[in-house]
Amino acid sequence: MKINLIVFGTRPEAIKMAPLVKVFLADPKFITKVCVTAQHREMLDQVLEFFEITPDYDLNVMKPNQNLYSLTATIIEGMKPVLEEVNPDFVYVHGDTTTSMAVGIAAFYSGAKVCHVEAGLRTFDRKYPFPEEFNRQLTGKIADYHFAPTELSKANLLQENTKKESVIVTGNTVIDALLFGIDKVNSNHFKESEIENLKEILDFNNKIVLVTGHRRENHGQGLLNICSALKTIAENNPEVQIIYPVHLNPNVEKPVHELLTGFANIFLVKPLAYAAFIWLMEKSYLIITDSGGIQEEAPSLGKPVLVTRDTTERPEAVEEGTVLLVGTNTHKIIEETQKLISDSTYYNSMSMLHNPYGDGKATSRIVNYIKEL
Ligand code: UD1
Ligand code: UDP
């Protein structure tokens, strides 16, 4: 019997690994254990609760305002006893976080095969996004198997001389999670207090602009510029409602609350549970974000996205015209948002429904591949 160890630590990894956890746990051909580093705490627990996942191991590493040095070291050290006890054949890591990279290194030391889910996305600039591009490239060097979401991510890996037979195009599990999530949220018996709360604070007859942001390279001036743009957009469009679930990173939370509190049509809320967030995405008019996962989800919901970054490792939707890079230039953010609010032809051209990142079957492609080994 093959032994799997699936490891993740942050909110987006948890969302994108949840479908894989569910399918592997239900398959009697495998013994599957789940370990969370808890690089995130509250934001991870929200996801575990929604997908009803109880980890077998929890490293509980998160510290307030943690730094990359100690986070990396603590995760590598924390993984040693887990790897020794489980003695897995396969260790699954996801994407580009410090958890992915540090667990990848530890898994390599243990002698397990490293499976990289969401492999091959690239900006080819190691500083953007920081440190994620480096984390993903390094994890790609460590991995034995690369589950690439798109043909482009496969091409990126082949360009780096990755062995062709170790790269499998699967689609992104973010779409598997999204389809599962929408189904669950729309089912009759599903109740979520955060959704009820959103119904009370927002007027859905108005245009809703949904905002998120957390990238390290936007901390400081970039975030100040974004907030300044949001202020102007709110003042110029009193009928538009801006809702911003604020990331718990103190480098985000503090300036956003300082700059954006007190506006009648700006609503700052805590990070939303996944159910409430996808419900709100569906109800939104447009999304302003620097998030990777949201760039992937929005096209499946037909929502235009303005990305507050200069580069993206997810160019597929940019090429199709539903995602636009606006950077952190205040004027550009105001100008593009205003155009989407007032020009319906332009809005329609950006709200096309398409699925460049997957068809909801990525998980079964990954599981079938591992079964054949
Ligand atoms: C991390 C990932 C980033 C990913 C993002 C998703 C790295 C280096 N960064 O960035 O790639 O896109 O998660 O959101 O891997 N905090 C809490 N509670 C939580 C989560 C965070 O209080 O549940 C606060 C803590 O003070 C923590 C800080 O946020 O120290 C930063 O967390 P960290 O995971 O280091 O960075 P993120 O900006 O969340
Ligand atoms: N998300 C959520 N609640 C929120 C904001 C985002 O559940 O308040 C979900 C979102 O649907 C997506 C993921 O979190 O699946 C994105 O996480 P984040 O932006 O933190 O990280 P990134 O994708 O940029 O690594």
Residue located nearest, by CA, to atom 24 of ligand 1: 249
Residues 213 and 146 in one domain: no
Is pLDDT above 90 for 277? yes
Residues 165 and 203 in one domain: no
Residue located nearest, by CA, to atom 12 of ligand 2: 293
Nearest alpha-carbon partner for 101 in 134, 52, 57: 134
Task: Kindly give the distance from the C-alpha atom of residue 293 to the centroid of ligand 2, in angstroms, as a whole number.
Answer: 6
Please report whether residue 339 resides in a domain: yes
Residues 166 and 47 in one domain: yes
SS3 145: strand
pLDDT tens per residue, range 314-324 = 999 999 999 99
Residue 232: which domain range?
Answer: 192-350
Residues 153 and 230 in one domain: no
Task: Kindly give the distance from the C-alpha atom of residue 291 to the centroid of ligand 1, in angstroms, as a whole number.
Answer: 12
Please report whether residue 183 resides in a domain: no
Residues 342 and 364 in one domain: no
The count of structural domains within the chain is 2
pLDDT tens per residue, range 56-82 = 999 999 999 999 999 999 999 999 999
Please report whether residue 333 resides in a domain: yes
State the average pLDDT over residues 15-20.
98
Nearest alpha-carbon partner for 236 in 333, 350, 345, 344: 333
3-state per-residue secondary structure call for 63-100: CCCCCHHHHHHHHHHHHHHHHHHHCCCEEEEECCCHHH
State the average pLDDT over residues 267-278.
98
Is pLDDT above 90 for 232? yes
Q: Which structure tokens are listed for 310? A: 């200069």
pLDDT tens per residue, range 179-213 = 999 999 999 889 899 999 999 999 999 999 999 99
User: Which of 133, 291, 308, 357 to mutate for ligand 2's pocket (most ligand atoms within 8 Å of CB)?
Assistant: 291
Ligand 1: atom nearest CA of 66 is 30
CATH of the domain at 260: 3.40.50.2000
**106: confidence class by pLDDT, cuts 50, 70, 90:** very high
What global pTM score does this model have? Answer: 0.98
pLDDT value at position 122? 98
